[in-house]
Structure 1
Amino acid sequence: MGEAPEPHTGWTFLTSHARVLAAIAGKHRPRVRDIAAHCLLTERAVQKIISDLEDDGYLTHEREGRSNVYRIQPGTILRHPAEADLTVAALLSLLVQHDVRRAAG
């Protein structure tokens, strides 16, 4: 297992849940280890976040062999009342585009 990333102090604009969802959206079959490294979280934290996202209907998964295949529910509305008209797909389109540009640059 890899080292746990250094903890972040202070606040951030994006929650860990949004970061994990974006990491899953950018990959076909992401491993928890890879998601954790990408998001600078521990594997345990990522597993908990994935469970939260599944419990609230934002994400499903199926086992295929030894891998999990995640499916994001793009039409799901964001949780906060101020974003009640925004879908997961709208949020992810921005975050995934940013990750693609960052990887290319």
Structure 2
Amino acid sequence: MDGVPEPHNGWTFLTNHARVLASIAVDRTSRIRDIAARCRLTERAVQKIISDLEHEGYLVRTREGRSNTYRIQPDTPLRHPAEASLSVSELLALLARHDAERGSRQPRP
């Protein structure tokens, strides 16, 4: 089936909430469909995650015509007490640096 994420069993290091937030950081005008594809989640899961992130103050959604634009609140601390000294911007900077380094190691076609 096209468009249906592949199932994943077991645990991962990053939560789906972190994946969605990182996807929005790359493109703050992404459609839910595009975020879902990038994160390998269902659109419904992405809608719920965005709602969670908005409710907790990590994200502000602005409706612009038929589209949404998202603004990440960069100084918001991470939720878990063990990471409470870190902000969302620090997490996203780490992920962006990793993606940049991984991209530079990819062989060019």
| TM-score for the superposition, normalised by structure 2 | 0.88
Runs (4 or more) in structure 1 with deviation over 2 Å come to 96-105
Q: Which has the higher contact order (CA 8 A, sep 6+)?
A: 1
Kept in 1: contact 2:28–2:71 (CA 8 A): no
Determine whether 1:86 maps to 2:86.
yes
Q: Report matched runs for 1:1-105 at 5 Å.
A: 3-103=3-103, 105=106
Q: 1:84 to 1:45 in 2, by over 3 A?
A: same
- TM-score scaled to structure 1, two decimals? 0.91
* Corresponding residue pairs, total: 104
Structure whose alpha-carbon radius of gyration is higher = 2
Structure 1: gaps of 5 or more residues: none
Structure 2 counterpart SS, 1:77: coil
Q: What are the ranges of 5 or more consecutive residues in structure 2 without an aligned counterpart?
A: none
Provide the identity percentage: 67
